[in-house]
A and B are shown apart, each in its own frame.
Chain A
Amino acid sequence: MKLFNSRFEQIAAIVRKDFLIGLRRRATFAAMMMFALTAVASLSLSTGGIFVEEKFLAALLWVVIFFAASAGISGTFDDEAQAGTLPTLKLYADAQAILFGKMIYVFLSLAALTIFILPIFLILFDVAVEKIFLLLMTILLGLIGIAAAGTLTAALTTSATVKGGLFPILLFPITLPIFLPAIRLTEISFAGGVFDISLIVVVAVFDLILITAASILFDYL
């Protein structure tokens, strides 16, 4: 129990520290938000006035989230590596605490991103959401998976000497089992109709597997 408590305190300290630095530097947050806004605005401008199918809208939403997330979280470890603080952090904190601290921070920043961009998206594309609960549930489960896979992927790309574009290339294939069902569920939440509950279960199970795998594999890095 004591071990669990100290692990929890370490994780909380790392999340808090990352938020302090994130808010003070702002550049990463700002880039992620502006990326999402630019993407949504450009898509909306270019399709202005045309009826866009729900299926296409659902895909657009997830494409925006994916690339904005990539812009925002690819530096999760690399920023610290560049600043030279990563070796210090690794010396004083347990590897698992670092992983989960970063993962929670990534999840919270993705949640902030979505809270910002989703209303704008729905207004600009004039989407009437039929099933709001399904939409929120899908986004929540999707972001958990992206946070888990994204944190480990960010740890992998830290040691790369050529970084341009590497992060989304690595992240996309391993998050496909999230995107495919999430896009379908989002479409149904926009258009209404019956949905296959097994798709939600698949995303939830895959989230758990990603978190477990990240936890196991991170120790080898």
Chain B
Amino acid sequence: MNKILILLTLAIVAAIIFFVPPIKGLGDLAKIIFFHVPTAWVSVIAFFVSAFYAAKFLRTFNFSFDKLSARAARLGFIFVLLSTISGAIFSKLTWGAYWNWDPRQTTIFVLILIYGAYLTLRAAVSDEKTRAKVSAVYSLLSVLTVPFLVFIIPRMYFSLHPSPVLNSAGRVEMDSIVLIVLIAAVVDATLIFVQLMRREIS
């Protein structure tokens, strides 16, 4: 792992602990939001990266793209689990329940199912060449559901989730220090993902 990245991560962790004011009435544990948002972001990014390499594989039949697609999915799966757990903890602190099928919880749960299905499929096919083709096809098929779920789910489930950082009104409703740290954390998580993607296949 890149040394600068480690320093950046440590700096952000320190900023979260020491500089960010405690969230009113929620206590210090609520700062887990600084972990939740970046991991959720990366798990979505990884999903599209995996599908992107799947498409590249099918066009070229170059097996290194299959390896990248698989790695993005494995990382995405880890990130989506971290994000779901941290989100559930935050949910318990703010709304009193770990889980309530909020639209975003539903969406992230679907993402877990898709990642899980993809990795199960990879484990279930033993022939290397077939596995590459079959999992690329599944990856592209599953990516098609995303725009539909984004459209459908908010129509079906009532939401308690706070608006995204940039809400539909285009206003930013956060302390500037909170916002800066949050953006830094998202960038940092993305860089960690990129770094893990680039690591040599051992």
Q: Do A and B bind each other?
A: yes
Residues of chain A having any CB pair with chain B under 8 Å:
149, 152, 156-157, 159-163, 166, 169-170, 172-174, 176-177, 180-181, 184, 196, 198-199, 202, 206, 209-210, 213-214, 217, 220-221
- Chain A's nearest CB lies how many Å from the CB of B16? 34
Given A159-B125, A169-B120, CB of A180 within 8 Å of CB of B156: yes
Q: In the assembly, what is the distance between CA of A156 and CA of B131, in Å?
A: 9
Q: Is the CB of B140 within 8 A of A159?
A: no
Our count of residue pairs bridging A and B at CB distance below 8 angstroms stands at: 85
For B155, the closest partner residue in chain A by CB is: A196
Q: In the assembly, what is the distance between CA of A95 and CA of B140, in Å?
A: 19
CB-contact partner of A217 in B127, B130, B141, under 8 A? B141
Residues of chain B having any CB pair with chain A under 8 Å:
58, 110, 113-114, 116-117, 120-121, 123-127, 130-131, 133-134, 136-138, 140-142, 144-145, 148-149, 151-153, 155-156
Given A159-B130, A173-B114, A209-B144, CB of A220 within 8 Å of CB of B125: no
Residues of A within 8 A of B149 (CB): 176-177, 180
Residues of A within 8 A of B138 (CB): 156, 170
Residues of A within 8 A of B136 (CB): 220
State the majority secondary structure of interface residues on A. helix
Q: Is the CB of B144 within 8 A of A210?
A: yes
Q: In the assembly, what is the distance between CA of A176 and CA of B133, in Å?
A: 23
Q: Is the CB of B113 within 8 A of A172?
A: yes
- Chain A's nearest CB lies how many Å from the CB of B44? 15
Closest 9 CB pairs of A and B: A177-B148, A160-B124, A162-B124, A173-B114, A159-B130, A173-B113, A217-B137, A161-B126, A156-B134
